[in-house]
Structure formats: structure tokens, C-alpha cells
Structure 1
Amino acid sequence: MDILQIALLGVAGTLLAIQFKGGKTEYGIYICAGISLLIFFAVLDRIAAVVARLDEITAYIDLAPAYIEMLLKMLGITFVAEFSSALCRDAGYQTIAQQIEVFAKLAVLVLGLPVVFSLLELIGEFLS
């Protein structure tokens, strides 16, 4: 049911923004940004459910909490980057949107480097 509400909200916001496309285009951008923020906050509720499930998984297996925290940070980075770059792209600023995406990719890469190093150390221990 929630997906229907979000989909209807998105379609209604899009149709409303289209009405302003001919005259005051900035109002259409504001409407899109507002609808996007509403959907963004709805997604945050779902992320809380994912975090609760990840806590259950860590109770079953011996997984360092740092890895779960890193995974959640990566999820947050990608979600915020996708959201902000889509808003910039809708407003007509493709270059800024692309730079946000590049920065997010690099941030995720930097965040994941400790995992790569620990994996390399583990492989090194097996080989020696």
C-alpha cells in the first residue's frame, strides 16, 4: 500500500510541476524538490527497518559491527548522492549532478578501502 501512496504522490507532483513548465519554471523545480523530500523521508523510515534486520543478522553470525556501520554509511552516501544529483539534473544542472555522483563514488571507495586491506591481509595469512 505504501508504494501506491508514494507512486501517486510522485505522479501528482510531476503533473503539478508540468503545469508550471510554460510560465514560472522555478515553481516546478520547487514542487519537485518538495515532493522528493517527502519521498526521501518516507525512505528513511524504511532504512530504520533495514537497520533493525541487520542487527538481527549480526546476532546470528560473528560479524564486526564496524562492517555493518560501513555498509550503512555507504548506503547513506549513495542515497543522498542519487537524491541530490537527480534534483540538480531536473533543474538543468547536469554538470553539478555529475560532480556529486563522482564525489559519492570516491567517498564509497575511500570508505571501503579498509575492507580491501583486511581482505588482502587475510589472503596473505592463508598464503604464508
Structure 2
Amino acid sequence: MGMLQIGLLGVAGALLAIQFKGGKTEYGIYICAGISLIIFLGILSRLTVVLDIMEEIAGYIDLAPAYTGMLIKMLGITYVAEFSSAICRDAGYQTIAQQIEIFGKAVVLVLGLPVILALLEMIRDFLA
């Protein structure tokens, strides 16, 4: 799906959801969630390009496969956290959306700690 198609799908979904805003608001939420899911699946189909480029970059700079895997996990976590929090925010549940975002940030931080420790060890070895 191209950007134009995604844009048109998003606008059409928003306009359709507005039609239900006056009476059955839950239908509008379901429509927004469905459109968001379709767009999210479109994003997932594009991630193969990102994965291929990350593998190519790892080949150029001799990056450990563990770090590449970690970056991919972080990317996936941020996408899922943003997607989930946006749906909760659209449904009117801002508190849940904020909690999802905080949890996503904490998970990314925990995944990044081994990299920080390896960097500190490298600096310590360099200075010793």
C-alpha cells in the first residue's frame, strides 16, 4: 500500500467514524481501531526493507548480531506501544494510553542496558 492509499483510507475511516459520533460512539471507535490495524499491518509489510538495510549496515560496521536483534526488538516495541496507546487515546482512555507508553519506554530502557554496560566496560578498558 502506498502513502496515498493509506492517507485516503485514514481520511475515509475518520469521516465514517464522525458519522457515528452523534449516536453510536462505540461504532466510531471500532472503525478507528479497524483502520488503525489495517495501517499497522501496512507498516509491518514495509519493515522488511528496514530489516534488510539494518543487516547491510551491520555488515559494513561489523556490528554484533545481538545488537542488531536488540535494535529490531526496540523498534517493534516502540511501534506496538505507539499503536496501542493511540487506540486507547482515541477511545478516550488517556490514562491507559500513558501507562502503555511508560511501559514501552521502560522495556526499551531495559533492553538497552546491556549496550550501556558494554560501552562502559570498553571505556574502562581503554582508560586502564
Normalised-by-shorter TM-score class? over 0.9
Structure 2, unaligned stretches of length 5 or more?
A: none
SS of residue paired to 1:63? coil
TM-score under structure 1 length normalisation: 0.97
Residue pairs, 1:55-66, within 5 angstroms: 55-66=55-66
Which letter does structure 2 place at the counterpart of 1:25?
Answer: T
For 1:57 and 1:124, the matched residues in 2 are separated by 27
SS of residue paired to 1:23? coil
Which letter does structure 2 place at the counterpart of 1:83?
Answer: F
Q: How many matched pairs?
A: 128
Aligned sequence identity (%): 73
- What is residue 99 of structure 2 aligned with on the other side? 99
Residue pairs, 1:1-128, within 5 angstroms: 2-128=2-128
Q: Which moved more, 1:4-13 or 1:55-64?
A: 55-64
For 1:120 and 1:58, the matched residues in 2 are separated by 21
For 1:107 and 1:15, the matched residues in 2 are separated by 35
For 2:127 and 2:55, the matched residues in 1 are separated by 33
Structure 1 runs (4+) deviating above 3 angstroms are none
Structure 1, unaligned stretches of length 5 or more?
A: none
Pairwise CA RMSD: 0.9
TM-score under structure 2 length normalisation: 0.97
The alpha carbon displacement at 1:61 in A equals 2.4
Which letter does structure 1 place at the counterpart of 2:21?
Answer: K
For 1:56 and 1:118, the matched residues in 2 are separated by 23
